[in-house]
Amino acid sequence: MGNGIILYDTTLRDGTQGEQVNLSAEDKLRIAGKLDDFGIHYVEGGWPGASPKDERFFSMAAEVAFKNARITAFGSTRRAGTRPEEDENMRALLEAGTDTVTLFGKSWELHATEILEVSLEENAAMIRDSVSYLKRCGKRVIYDAEHFFDGFKENPDYAVRTVETAAEAGADLVVLCDTNGGAMPDEVREVVEGLVSRLTVDVGIHAHDDCGLALANSLAAVKAGARMVQGTINGYGERCGNVDLLAVVGNLQLKLGVPCVPEDRIRQMTELSRFVSEVANIPPHNQRPFVGKSAFAHKGGVHVSAIMKNPRAYEHLAPEVVGNRRRVLVSDLAGRSNIEYKTRELGIRLGGNGYDSQKIVNRIKELEDAGYQFEAAEGSLDLLIKKVTGQFEDPFTLESFRVNIEKNRAGASTSQVTIKISVGGDQEITAAEGEGPVNALDNALRKALAKFYPEVEEMRLVDFKVRVIDGRDGTAAKVRVRIESRDSKEIWSTIGVSENIIEASWQALADSVQYKLSKETKRC
């Protein structure tokens, strides 16, 4: 691996200890494949023996030919008073069938004496016996020194003794873990420098983010000579999470010139982040460095005016480098520069004297004052710009709709909608049911329009969010409804605002269909 950094991903094990993160064995295998494609060197699959799901993952992974990644099994040292060959955890690690095993042991005397309730001598023996046994079984062994930095603060001699014991027993690499996430970058750098000069094997870092310093600590460790960085995609993990490996790659490879993955893989960073987020069913964090949706988003008019002249004015690197894209947001803070940039992006014509731009800005500010928010609803923004500039023709007109909700004694509820629309002078009246009033309204609208516009049948509503704008009016408060729709080609968002949640939903639904039909007309 040359002079580059060895990347060790623990999303499938440590990452799943994060709140709301739950992956099936099949999910883990899909993510492992993506990590392999990206160029991750080690992928920790889980703790065999602790979960049948993990055992199934290792069984399935054994049938896959990974190109770059070594799948590793994770487990603890032998139990106190037990020989390694008789220990169930050791047996499960071997049965996982991986050529690399990651073993963790205690470096903090508090954990040895109070948590495991063993002597310091026995704890050191557990480390030595377990590592040497796995080496005799032909395994490559990565030793994770759990709670190393906490242990070093209280008893540096013993903490160092534990990792020296692992190295002397044959560990191929020793990883210093900031398990509680409380270490500071300066101390990490000092400690790692000392260990790198003292140990005969490579040193790694495993940082948690409880103080918001996991990335800083990982970079400090690398500068001090660490060869391996352990972390997770998107920083998933227990409590405040682990270091985000994508931020590690972005900073090391793009900022410090330290190789981590092949150059042609860097563009996969954003896709990998979103893929793992989707599989884990965790909403993406928009402000995530390098790969977040907002990482290259510009809202202030001064900023937009500047990036139109030179993007470097407000961007630390080109978003395309990491597979992301530049976004210009339109809101009540927008200036003419935002509108002109956005209309070019959307392919909408504006008058050349700036009059159209100013009209659009004024209208957006009026609507945002009333509770609309266009930065997360580009479908509604597209329609608004076209309407203000006279470039929009309604594909249909609502004549009326009626919503009925019925709940019976058994607790079951049903929703029915009757709707009347007109298209070019022709009227259509239809009815539909749904799981709720919005679903029924969506079904009825598309059913009524299908006669005139068959393409609406391929539309699907994929997300629906309601937010109270100002709760001081209680149940009479205005609400903002945001709908996300998709077809085979794209995903778009639309919004509606009203004191009536059904009316706000109708606005967002109507915009969604109008956006779809305006795009189809444009393609034709």
> pLDDT of 29-76, one tens digit each?
999 999 999 999 999 999 997 788 899 999 999 999 999 999 999 999
185-190 mean pLDDT: 97
Percent of the chain, pLDDT > 70?
Answer: 92
Residue environment code for 266-275, b if the CB has 16+ CB neighbours within 10 A, otherwise e: bebbbbbbbb
Give the integer Cα–Cα distance in Å for 142 and 70: 12
Displacement of CA 332 from its chain's centroid (Å): 28
460-465 mean pLDDT: 83
pLDDT for 291: 94
Write out the two tokens for 308: 């139109």
User: What does residue 338 show for φ and ψ, rounded to 5 degrees?
Assistant: -60, -45
Residue 476 DSSP symbol: G
pLDDT for 330: 64
Map tokens 């044959």 to a residue. Answer: 170
Write out the two tokens for 56: 């199934």
pLDDT for 404: 93
**What average pLDDT does the chain have?**
89
User: What does residue 73 show for φ and ψ, rounded to 5 degrees?
Assistant: -100, 145
381-403 mean pLDDT: 88
pLDDT for 366: 80
Write out the two tokens for 48: 């065999």
Write out the two tokens for 220: 């400090």
342-363 mean pLDDT: 70
Displacement of CA 4 from its chain's centroid (Å): 25
More confidently predicted of 219 and 1: 219
Q: Is 52 exposed, middle or buried (0-12, 13-18, 19+ CB in 10 A)?
A: exposed
Domains recognised in the chain with CATH numbers: 6-261 (3.20.20.70), 297-388 (no CATH), 397-523 (3.30.160.270)
pLDDT for 486: 84
Q: Which of 467, 297, 299 is nearest to 371 (CA)?
A: 467
pLDDT for 2: 44
Q: Do residues 170 and 202 make contact, with C-beta atoms less than 8 angstroms apart?
A: no
pLDDT for 523: 43
Neighbours of 132 (CB within 10 A): 18
State yes or no: pLDDT of 1 exceeds 50. Answer: no
